[in-house]
Structure 1
Amino acid sequence: MEASSVSSNLYEQLNFRGEKQKVISSNIANINTPNYKTKDLVFDDVLNNKLDNTLKMKQTNSRHIASIDNNSSIGNPKLIQVAGLEEQNDGNNVNLDTQMSEMSKNKVLFDAIQSSIKRDSRLFRSVIESSAKN
């Protein structure tokens, strides 16, 4: 059971941030690998596309305002090769400073999402506890 309809989206974002961490770690691990190209995990464009497509009204009666279609399956993130980066003499284009910055940003977002899930769960629990007292 989910604490709210937002929970599934938060869990998907949390999973995405975990996978993105793996990609960033892989980039850092391959910093000295000849001809290795920096990779990135893209999800935001997929999310924005999905939200544009799912927030359409559906009417069951001409006098009703329909509910929003909630499809929680947003889609899989895509692993892409980052283009336009400066290459070293061996063909590798991984920049350690950029990857460390991305890792820090990803950690902050991961922690924020995790905090939101905890807050959402506490709210859900308090509602259940309050209804049990009545």
Structure 2
Amino acid sequence: MADWRRSGNDEMSPGDGSPHDAVRSSGRPSGANFNQIGKTEEMLDHENQSRVEGLATKISRLKGIAVDLESESRESNRYLDDMTDDFGSTTGLLSGSIHRINNMINTGRSNRKIMCYIILGLVGLFLITYYLIIRVTS
């Protein structure tokens, strides 16, 4: 088979660097172009692999975030359930205390004196505590 080069006229012919040079008469790429195609495929494969690795890294980060969110939501739900129980017990305690105070108020005059002493004692305790806190902080 003859390798055609540029003839006297400006017409393109096989062997002169045209795209037709890549394929010989057998229909296969020539050796130089076959290597170039192989390098291009290798470069594309390498780029695809690096992008796949990047996606895998991002997916693993997202998975970690999802697992963290799940554990955080479970802990928050557990905390809220505990708070609900605590508020329920506090409500029961306060309602019992209010009931006892109402019974004491409704019973008679002697209990009213005790009630006044208790209130005055609590106000005095509050003022002493307030004074001590102000003195310590300044």
Tell whether the structures are fold-level matches, with TM greater than 0.5.
no
Higher strand share: 1
| TM-score, with length taken from structure 1 | 0.32
| TM-score, with length taken from structure 2 | 0.31
